Amino acid sequence: MSDYNFAYLDEQTKRMIRRAILKGLAVPGYQVPFASREMPMPYGWGTGGVQVSAATLTPDDTLKVIDQGADDTTNAVSIRKFFEKTAGVETTEETEKASVIQTRHRIPEAELTEDQILVYQVPIPEPLRFLEPRETETRKMHALQEYGLMHVKLYEDISQHGAIATAYAYPVKVEGRYVMDPSPIPKFDNPKMEMAAIQLFGAGREQRIYAVPPYTQVVSLDFEDYPFEASKAEHACDLCGSEHSYLDEVILDDAGNRMFVCSDTDYCRSRREAGHSGRLSEEAA
């Protein structure tokens, strides 16, 4: 153990955050204001997610942290180390073994269970923000369910690009009431949001927490004649051969060679261990 209080934050702060979380769960999709604390990391690096995780963790939990699906990128590594140091909890890279998963911009490929909590890092919680800059007005629009403006954005997409070009942070309607920004996850992940695990969203700079309880209806907004599509790159993973996972495109050289790999590193590794292989398996090995 360390000289820090368990999970860095003091107990009063964790209590305050838990209250916000409970309120968020009671009103799915509603943005609950909370007194976000200064964290030992810059805004935009997951200060909201970290506070929610800190308030959620117990000493028995096993934590997994992913950044764009990967366990080994800077953001994921440093947040994992942070909680190893301040909370002394077990950490893992395996989705199935984790009880709390903090994520930036992805939902793991493996299906989550009722015993798990998924914590999202959110940069801008307000889905209407880029359409309506006034906070007083957006709150009123949420209160009165005036969501026509959200469709204006989708209309603009179709008129300019011939299809709904919004590929991430794709707006959803939760339980037929609040329109919510699912954080910048790819729209490929949107259908997964109707899941068994609890989903918590923390925005540190904007001081908002919101939540989606298990088995809650989450509908991606669309038009009758331009229905929502969960899109991904039309390839298979070059390492594990998966055709159903969300892929990252990696430029290999300046001669136009590229590869597609699963953005969920744990999923890709477990598939390779199970004997699956992709187009570039030998070269990568």
Partner 1 sequence: MTPLLQVKNVAKMYGARIGCTDVSFDLYPGEVMGIVGESGSGKSTLLNSLAGHLTPDRGEVIFDTRTEGPVDTVTMSEPERRMLSRTDWAFVHQHARDGLRMSVSAGGNIGERLMAVGDRHYGSIRERAADWLGRVEISESRIDDRPSAFSGGMQQRLQIARNLVTGPRLVFMDEPTGGLDVSVQARLLDLLRGLVREMGLSAIIVTHDLAVVRLLADRLMVMKDGHVVENGLTDQVLDDPQHAYTQLLVSSVLQV
Stretch that binds partner 1, among 45-53, 73-81, 102-110, 140-148 (CB under 8 A): 140-148
Q: Tell me which of 225, 234, 254, 273 binds partner 1, using CB under 8 A.
A: 225
Q: Should residue 155 be labelled a site residue for partner 1 when binding is judged by CB under 8 A? A: yes
103 to 122, contacts with partner 1 by CB under 8 A? none
Report, as residue numbers or ranges, the catalytic residues: 29, 237, 240, 262, 268
Closest to partner 1 by CB, 43 or 147: 147
Residue 100 tokens read as 């709390």
Closest to partner 1 by CB, 153 or 279: 153
Q: Should residue 224 be labelled a site residue for partner 1 when binding is judged by CB under 8 A? A: yes
Q: What is the DSSP string of the chain?
A: --SSPTTSS-HHHHHHHHHHHHHHHHSTT--EE--PPP-SS-TTSSHHHHHHHHHH--TT-EEEEEETTBSSSHHHHHHHHHHHHHT--EE-S-GGG-SEEEEES---SSPP-TT-EEEEE-S---TTTTT---HHHHHHHHHTT--HHHHHHHHHHHHHHSS----BS--EEETTTEEE---S-BGGGGGGGS-SSEEEEEETTTTEEEEE-TT--EEE--BTTB-------SS--TTT--SSS-EEEEE-STTS-EEEEES-HHHHHHHHHTT---TTHHHH-
Binding-residue total with partner 1 (CB under 8 A): 16
Q: Should residue 148 be labelled a site residue for partner 1 when binding is judged by CB under 8 A? A: yes
Closest to partner 1 by CB, 178 or 267: 178
Closest to partner 1 by CB, 143 or 284: 143
Strand order in the sheet with 178-180: 178-180, 172-174, 218-220
In the complex, the smallest distance separating the C-beta of residue 228 from partner 1, rounded to whole angstroms, is 12
Q: Should residue 156 be labelled a site residue for partner 1 when binding is judged by CB under 8 A? A: yes
In the complex, the smallest distance separating the C-beta of residue 163 from partner 1, rounded to whole angstroms, is 10
In the complex, the smallest distance separating the C-beta of residue 151 from partner 1, rounded to whole angstroms, is 4
Closest to partner 1 by CB, 62 or 231: 231
Q: Should residue 161 be labelled a site residue for partner 1 when binding is judged by CB under 8 A? A: no
Q: Should residue 136 be labelled a site residue for partner 1 when binding is judged by CB under 8 A? A: no
Contacts to partner 1 by CB under 8 A? 144, 146, 148-149, 151-152, 155-156, 158-160, 222-226
